[in-house]
Structure 1
Amino acid sequence: MILVTGATGQYGTKVLEHLLHKGIEAQHISALVRDAAKGQTLQDQGIELRVGDYADVDALIQAFQGVDTLLLVSSNDRGAVENRTVHHLNVIHAAKVAQVKHLVYTSFVTKPAFQHAAIADFLTSHAQTEQAIKDSGLPYTILQHGIYLEMIPIFAGGQVAETGIILFPAQEGKASWVLRAELAEAAAHVLTTKGHKNQTYVLANTEATSFQAIAKDLSGSLGKDVRYQSPPVEEFQAILQQVGVPEMYIGMFTMWASAVAQGMLEVEDATLATFLGRQPTTTAQFIKQVYN
């Protein structure tokens, strides 16, 4: 039995789709959901729903009974980053009690000296979870994801087609952007093939891309000149404040822009391409699809 957590989220849903596409019978797949009503579509496909919450260890232990392989989709708790770590530790504990045979975890690409990165708290949570998984004694596979291609339209701004300007303080930094659906496909590959136990895989693109290149690709897709501007962080924040962007989002944009500027997201790797059996979607291809 394969169990996928976060099963009604965008990533978890795609993993389940790829498992079915690979020929895994629905009766051998289960999905962890917080609200059974939201999992009705999955249940209609024959996937067993198991109700549980990352904060409820007892419910998790019950939900994990009879599970051979567990995909732990990292928590997206909107509170303190520490909440995510606690959630992950709860899942690891429950998996061990329930005698799960293989734990697969969706982590994030991490480079040396990440403690000094703009996204240090985020990366520390993943690092602590990875270590806890290794210390648990459970056979594991860690999938270190690159940043989603789907974040580019958010960072570029919803008005980029009208303004012709990308305003984002990422300087000359590059990122190895990857498509969420292809990361889900890679996870399904790991869940359905052998030889992955006690392995850590970097799932990033084979080529990193800067916002200068993104602006050039946008220019081609939109048929108009798009310029990239990387102001100092303080100036960027002031501009967003002036137009009424909530502080939470200003902080998020600044954090990720600074991480790109620091080179923390530039991790080129061929593993994803190997798992997919093809080259991952490139930034240029994604932009052409989205802005065409």
Structure 2
Amino acid sequence: MKKILVTGATGQLGSSVIETLLKKMIESQISIITRIEEKRVQFQAKGFNAFRASYDDVVSLENAMEGVDTVLLISSGDQGDRMQEHRNVIDTAKKTGVKHIAYTSRCLNNRNTLANKLMVEHFETEDYILSTGLKYTIFRNILYMDAIPQFIGGNIALERGIFLPAADGKVSFALRSEIGEAMANVLLSEEIENKIYNFTSDKAYSFYDIATALTDLSGKTVKYTSVETNVFEGMMKQRNLPEPVILKIVDFITDIKHNQEAGIFNDLEIILGRKPSGLKNGLKTLFGL
């Protein structure tokens, strides 16, 4: 009986993965880790093998991986030493006899020209997994469509428009829930082979496209204005955002401007067995239109 450990299980991506896994697995086949004891108790009560653990606590990781065949490593946040945390999970998987590790990487066109250096760590994690000799699955996920409201300021954009230094750069956005569903479908497959999946939509969209779609959905004229980076930074400072946050946002948008996120692949459609949700349908849900 296959047993899977899902890290980041209480997050939105992990929750989507688990929801699909439960269509063909029972709770006792799924282990989860969480930093929060209350969450652990809730999962345990539902029949999951739930552990209070973190990526920087190797002993807790060893306990969680006992008897596990596959570990899904959902990438860590950037608050700590992300690469060391990833290495801890990967090393522990190998030490405890886990047969297969899956990792949530990012679908980006060129690791050598990225403005956002945090994204480079995804490729470094991929390299580290390959060096271990473990069987692997790499999920290179595109930027979630769910992030669009954050980038454009939420529903305020319906009133004042979209102002970003992204020029006509495009992203093949996909919904996080559909990416999670596809990841689970792969993990449920009987044959696990060393493979990299690029999960994107079947079309790439610019912020001009986003403005047009929001105009159609809301009945309000939403205009996208491509501004200079320094102007955008000034706008962010007016919102009292911390400097590190502003720099992070600018790096993301710079990579979009340079079409780092514009690749189109059919892996998501194949694994879902249907076309991914298009931009308009996705925005309709995300903005409640």
Q: Is the 8 A contact 2:32 2:64 kept in 1?
A: no
Moved more, 153-162 or 88-97: 153-162
Q: Is the 8 A contact 2:170 2:204 kept in 1?
A: yes
Matches of 2:188 and 2:239, distance apart in 1: 48
Indicate which of 117, 135, 148 corresponds to 2:114.
117
Percentage of pairs with the same residue: 36
Report the alpha carbon displacement of residue 246 of structure 1 after superposing the two structures with TM: 2.8
Q: Is the 8 A contact 2:146 2:286 kept in 1?
A: no
Report the alpha carbon displacement of residue 36 of structure 1 after superposing the two structures with TM: 2.7
* Unpaired stretches in structure 1, ≥5 consecutive residues: none
Matches of 2:286 and 2:13, distance apart in 1: 19
RMSD: 1.3
The two structures have a TM-score, normalised by structure 1, of 0.94
* Unpaired stretches in structure 2, ≥5 consecutive residues: none
Matches of 2:242 and 2:61, distance apart in 1: 35
Matches of 1:245 and 1:135, distance apart in 2: 39
- 1:43-122 mapped onto 2 (5 Å cutoff): 43-79=44-80, 83-112=81-110, 114-119=111-116, 121-122=117-118
- The amino acid of 2:247's aligned partner reads G
Does residue 283 (structure 1) correspond to residue 279 (structure 2)? The answer is yes
Name the residue aligned to 2:214: 218
Q: Is the 8 A contact 1:36 1:49 kept in 2?
A: no
Classify the secondary structure of the residue corresponding to 1:147.
Answer: coil
Q: Is the 8 A contact 1:73 1:105 kept in 2?
A: yes
Q: Is the 8 A contact 1:109 1:265 kept in 2?
A: yes
Q: Is the 8 A contact 2:166 2:254 kept in 1?
A: yes
Classify the secondary structure of the residue corresponding to 1:40.
Answer: helix
Report the alpha carbon displacement of residue 63 of structure 1 after superposing the two structures with TM: 1.6
Report the alpha carbon displacement of residue 226 of structure 1 after superposing the two structures with TM: 0.6
Q: Is the 8 A contact 1:105 1:142 kept in 2?
A: yes
Report the alpha carbon displacement of residue 62 of structure 1 after superposing the two structures with TM: 2.1
Name the residue aligned to 1:144: 140
- 1:259-278 mapped onto 2 (5 Å cutoff): 259-278=255-274
Report the alpha carbon displacement of residue 250 of structure 1 after superposing the two structures with TM: 1.7
- 1:7-26 mapped onto 2 (5 Å cutoff): 7-20=9-22, 22-26=23-27
Report the alpha carbon displacement of residue 187 of structure 1 after superposing the two structures with TM: 1.2
Classify the secondary structure of the residue corresponding to 1:105.
Answer: strand
- 1:149-160 mapped onto 2 (5 Å cutoff): 149-158=145-154, 159-160=156-157
- The amino acid of 1:55's aligned partner reads D
The two structures have a TM-score, normalised by structure 2, of 0.95
